[in-house]
């Protein structure tokens, strides 16, 4: 499933997502032509004040996103970029490069509330939960957050299954997504090319793990 340059796309017939990826595979950059294009999607407008401040208007106010020094240094400081708006979700996605982590925030257009986000977010078919993907520099793979629509983080982990020691890798995960039952599923790649379908399940309050669903 490719990530298109448009801000909100349909992942399946029922799923929607917002993303900060461009057609070249890079992320939206501040003051770029891509950001300027996406700013036009903001229903109440969004502007830049100088180089270091992004102002995004929501239905009853303005949210200001201000860069932090050191400026103009790769993987240092903090900068923001506007990634788009989804009418279906009622949310804006703002990219945040925070030192060495590419992540983001969601801005609720109705309430002005800021919710945890990422480089991209993928909503469940019923829009009650979402997955947020972020990329720490130097990490092999992404970090994934499972959140409620209200922004409560239920689970956070990498796109891999770790051994009991918490360090060794048992399997890498690909194509993490929602199924038609609003469950989080993925392809688990283990040794010798074996592939399994796994599902993220809650084993007890606050505890989640990947469980094998079927084999291919």
pTM of the predicted structure, to 2 decimals? 0.89
Of the listed ranges 136-140, 168-172, 202-206, 211-215, the least confidently predicted one is 211-215
Note the pLDDT tens digit of each residue in 69-118.
998 777 789 999 999 999 999 999 999 999 999 999 999 999 999 999 99
Mean per-residue pLDDT of the chain: 89
Q: Distance between CA 190 and CA 165 in Å, rounded?
A: 17
Q: What is the token pair recorded at 32?
A: 């770029």
Tokens standing for residue 11: 């992942």
The mean pLDDT of 159-172, rounded to a whole number, is 86
Where exactly are the structural domains of the chain? 16-128
Are 55 and 49 spatial neighbours (Cβ–Cβ below 8 Å)?
Answer: yes
Tell me whether the omega of the peptide bond preceding residue 70 falls within 30 degrees of 0, making it cis: yes
**pLDDT exceeds 80 at position 132:** yes
Q: Which residues pair with 93 in a beta bridge?
A: 84, 106
Phi and psi, residue 165, nearest 5° = -75, -5
């Amino acid at each position: 499933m490719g990530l298109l340059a448009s801000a909100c796309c349909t992942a399946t017939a029922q799923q929607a997502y917002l993303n900060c990826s461009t057609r070249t595979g890079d992320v939206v950059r501040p003051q770029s032509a891509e950001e300027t294009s996406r700013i036009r999607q903001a229903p109440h407008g969004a502007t830049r004040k100088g180089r270091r401040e992004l102002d995004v208007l929501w239905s009853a106010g303005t949210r200001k996103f201000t860069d932090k020094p050191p400026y103009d240094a790769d993987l240092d400081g903090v900068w923001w970029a506007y990634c788009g708006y989804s009418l279906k979700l009622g949310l804006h996605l703002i990219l945040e490069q925070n030192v060495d982590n590419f992540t983001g925030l969601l801005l609720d257009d109705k309430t002005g509330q800021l919710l945890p986000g990422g480089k991209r977010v993928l909503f469940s078919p019923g829009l009650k939960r979402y997955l947020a993907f972020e990329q720490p520099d130097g990490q092999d793979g992404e970090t994934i957050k499972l959140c409620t629509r209200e922004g409560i983080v239920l689970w956070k982990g990498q796109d891999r299954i770790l051994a009991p020691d918490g360090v060794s890798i048992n399997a890498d995960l690909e194509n993490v997504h929602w199924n038609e039952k609003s469950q989080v599923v993925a392809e688990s790649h283990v040794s010798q090319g074996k592939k399994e379908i796994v599902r993220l399940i809650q084993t007890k309050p606050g505890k989640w793990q990947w469980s094998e669903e079927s084999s291919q």
